[in-house]
């Protein structure tokens, strides 16, 4: 596997973008009310114990950005459009499909699948573009 030079500032910015998109995506402005209804929990209850969730999300965002930076580097992608396409393909192959399978077999709600995987679609497309041009 070829070695990739990682721009750590780009990885940190991509992780921050992940967190900002998540804050907006799961806010009352967009999907918070519907999401909390679908998962059967009140937003107030989740806010009380949000610390561990934010910690896991932050680490996950950093790991995801680092892996995406490596894939973008291995593919030798250097334009925003092509970086966004890498993010789209990774989302389709590894997020949409796996979560779709889980949703079907667990009897989960398609609307919840759409909200959760839609968030990762937006994040991976934006971050693919960022990491492609800022390497």
Residue 129 within any structural domain of the chain: yes
Residue 3 within any structural domain of the chain: no
Residue 46 confidence (pLDDT) above 80: no
Instruction: Place 10 in a pLDDT band, splitting at 50, 70 and 90.
Output: very high
CA 36 – CA 21 distance, rounded (Å): 17
Instruction: Place 51 in a pLDDT band, splitting at 50, 70 and 90.
Output: confident
pTM (predicted TM-score): 0.94
Residue 68: domain span: 8-133
Residue 94 within any structural domain of the chain: yes
Residue 111 within any structural domain of the chain: yes
Residue 1 within any structural domain of the chain: no
Q: How many domains does the chain have?
A: 1
Residue 2 within any structural domain of the chain: no
Nearest CA among 135, 57, 128, 62 for reference residue 89: 128
> What is the tens place of the pLDDT at every residue in 71-129?
999 999 999 999 999 999 999 999 999 999 999 999 999 999 999 999 999 999 999 99
Residue 109, pLDDT score? 95
3-state secondary structure of 120: helix
CA 64 – CA 11 distance, rounded (Å): 9
Residue 58 within any structural domain of the chain: yes
User: 111-124 burial, b for 16+ CB within 10 Å, e for fewer?
Assistant: ebbbbbbbbbbbbb
Burial grade of 93 (CB within 10 A; 0-12, 13-18, 19 or more): exposed
Residue 119 within any structural domain of the chain: yes
């Amino acid at each position: 596997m070829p070695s990739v030079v990682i721009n750590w500032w780009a990885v940190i910015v991509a992780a921050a973008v992940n967190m900002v998109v998540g804050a907006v995506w799961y806010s009352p402005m967009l999907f918070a009310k519907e999401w909390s209804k679908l998962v059967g929990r009140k937003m107030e209850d989740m806010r009380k114990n949000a610390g561990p969730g934010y910690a896991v999300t932050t680490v996950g965002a950093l790991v995801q950005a680092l892996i995406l930076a490596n894939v973008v580097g291995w593919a030798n992608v250097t334009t925003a459009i092509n970086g966004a396409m890498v993010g789209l393909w990774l989302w389709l192959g590894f997020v949409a499909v796996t979560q779709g399978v889980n949703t079907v077999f667990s009897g989960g709600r398609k609307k919840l699948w759409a909200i959760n995987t839609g968030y990762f679609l937006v994040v991976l497309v934006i971050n693919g573009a960022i990491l492609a041009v800022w390497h």
